[in-house]
Amino acid sequence: MSRAAVPGLPSRYPIGGQLPAMYADDDLAQRFTAGLDTVLAPVFATLDSLPSYFDPRLAPTDFLSWLASWVGGAHDPRWPAGLRREAVARAVELHRLRGTRRGLIEALRLVLGVSAEVTGDGAALWSRTPGAELPPPPSDEILVRVWPLRDTTVDADRVRTLVRALCPVHTTCRVEILSGPPSGGGEGGEDRA
C-alpha cells in the first residue's frame, strides 16, 4: 500500500472551492489549487482513516513493523500477515506475562505455533508462616516440553532461541522436543537453553 500520490484520487476538501469569491473564476488559481489537491488528497485520506493505522488488525501490512516497534512486539517479515497482526495486538499482554510459565507457553504458541508444558519453578520459594524454617533449596532448572500444534515439525533451534530469550536469567532451561502431547507422544531431542 502506498500513502504517496494516488492518480485520480479526488480530494474531499478541494482548495479551489474554499478560496474567496474573487478567485472562483480565476483559471490560474483553480488549476494551481487543483495541483495541490492532487498532492494533498492522499494526506487527507490517510488522516481520515488515522485510527485504523493504530489498530494492528486494520493497519496496512507495511505499517505493522512500525507498530511492533512502538510496543516492543515480535515482528518477522517472513511470518504471515495474520500472525504479525496477532503478535502486535498481544505484545503488551505478553510483556506483562514475561518471565512466567504462562507467558512462555503463550509466546511459544503465538510465535512458533507449538504447544508447550513448563515444569519447575526456577528456585522461587515462599511460605505463609512467618519465621518458618527455610525449605531445602529447590532445583533452579526449568523443563520446557514442546510439541507441534500447527505443523507436523518443530524447529528446535527457533524453540531454543525463544526459550533462551524468555526464560528468567537466573535459571537453566532444558528443552525437550516431543512428537505429540506428553501423555501420548514420544520424546525427541533434549537440550539446555
Given a contact cutoff of 8 angstroms between Cβ atoms, the answer to whether 64 and 29 are in contact is no
107-113: average pLDDT? 88
pLDDT for residue 23 is more than 50: yes
70-94: average pLDDT? 88
Give the residues across from 191 on adjacent strands.
Answer: 175
pLDDT for residue 106 is more than 80: yes
Predicted confidence at residue 122, as pLDDT, reads: 66
Residue 151's pLDDT band, with cuts at 50, 70 and 90, is: low
Predicted confidence at residue 12, as pLDDT, reads: 83
Q: What is the 3-state secondary structure (H, E, C) of 124-176?
A: CCCCCCCCCCCCCCCCCEEEEEEEECCCCCCCHHHHHHHHHHHCCCCCEEEEE
* 35-47 per-position pLDDT tens digit: 888 888 888 888 8
All cell numbers assigned to 48? 481520515
| Distance (Å, whole) CA 109 – CA 148 | 9
Residue carrying C-alpha cell 500513502: 3
Predicted confidence at residue 13, as pLDDT, reads: 84
Residue 150's pLDDT band, with cuts at 50, 70 and 90, is: low
* 84-99 per-position pLDDT tens digit: 899 899 998 998 998 8
Predicted confidence at residue 185, as pLDDT, reads: 44
Residue 187's pLDDT band, with cuts at 50, 70 and 90, is: very low
CA 115, 117, 122, 125 dihedral sign is: positive
